[in-house]
A and B are shown apart, each in its own frame.
Chain A
């Protein structure tokens, strides 16, 4: 039986939007933690560690996000971990985000003038304190705009979780579309939801980019 596109469909799509926000937050926070490690590895004094982090970044930037999700989703059970779609998707997106954020923040770290970390060394600060108190705060400020830009990419990327059956915004729109046979409304509404989340972030990113551009 074909249902009408009613309040129930709207509510389930809004519910999906909430899941998309939660998934994005998990991936962004997880990706941020590991991305910091990737960025530090990429700028480390050891050549092998830099090369390793470089290969990690190249892999994630050189393969489709969908394949990365598939590998985690089909790969974890192979290694004996039977996890929910929610866990698999979170892990996949976290890996993905860590590589991209790592590369963005590497740029930020290298954009901090070398004299800063030299001065910190001269003052007797160790690596951890030098990074935490001197370099990273400046690097974060410098890479704020591209970080937010990537967050928009990540939020849009969470839609791929729908392909492996995880019910978030895109998947709930897909379900609404097939039960009501109103795909134009369902996908239009989903697009509007994504737009409502991403557009303000894009504007924020653009504004910071301009502000930074006028500062230099």
Chain B
């Protein structure tokens, strides 16, 4: 092997890498939170009495879940401007990731809601609560406890998915790595560093989430 590894040249770039990690976390966090809200709305729409709402919610979930994120990003960033709706790369990335997380969250949340016994909905209704109140006061909390592991997994997945938005040059870890690559032409070293940074982020967060799980959601609930 004749290739000489040189990680030293990357040292001066550590502030960029650090900044990019924070941006990646920020994008993932905002999109997951926004996706969670979309997810709740979608679950409510799927349970609504109006057939149109149910159909819209179901099509949204199925279309997002059965098409690649890359195509969704391209559709939003390159496609929508031709009908007069244009975004900056960052906004397009945020919208695409939120919509993506929304569909997956909706399925996770639905799983949690389905795990609540029917009798509790009926009891709530019998007490004169509106469906929204039943959801807010009776269903949401225990359901949250059940779906917590899947939801925290969703954050890690979103964190890893953000790398795809580098394809529209939204400024995050992967596109920062690509920028540095165009300075240094040390692709292999740069992507090793970027990969290890992603790995460190996902390990740190899965550790934190496990801690939260033990602290708040660990007592038997079934």
| Interface locus among A107-115, A116-124, A125-133, A155-163 | A155-163
Instruction: Tell me if A177 counts as interface (CB < 8 A to partner B).
Output: yes
In the complex formed, the residue of B with least CB distance to A161 is: B70
**Contact partner, A67, options B62, B78, B163, Cβ 8 Å:** B163
Instruction: Tell me if A195 counts as interface (CB < 8 A to partner B).
Output: yes
Docked CA distance A59–B200 (Å): 10
Instruction: Tell me if A79 counts as interface (CB < 8 A to partner B).
Output: yes
Counting chain A CB atoms within 10 Å of each CB, which of B83, B156, B191, B192 scores highest? Answer: B191
Interface extent on A, as a size class? 35 or more
Docked CA distance A170–B162 (Å): 18
Cross-chain contact A74 with B188 (CB below 8 angstroms) = yes
Q: Contacts A67-B191, A198-B65 given; 7 further ones with Cβ under 8 A?
A: A66-B166, A78-B1, A78-B3, A170-B71, A173-B74, A183-B75, A194-B66
Cross-chain contact B160 with A183 (CB below 8 angstroms) = no
Docked CA distance A202–B69 (Å): 16
State how many residues of chain B have any CB contact under 8 Å with chain A. 41
**Cβ–Cβ < 8 Å partners of A177 in chain B:** 74, 78-79
A25, chain B: closest CB distance, angstroms:
17
Q: A80-B1, A184-B80, A191-B63 are in contact. Are A63 and B75 (CB under 8 A)?
A: no
In the complex formed, the residue of B with least CB distance to A65 is: B160
Cross-chain contact B1 with A66 (CB below 8 angstroms) = no
Docked CA distance A182–B74 (Å): 12
Cross-chain contact B70 with A184 (CB below 8 angstroms) = no
In the complex formed, the residue of A with least CB distance to B75 is: A187
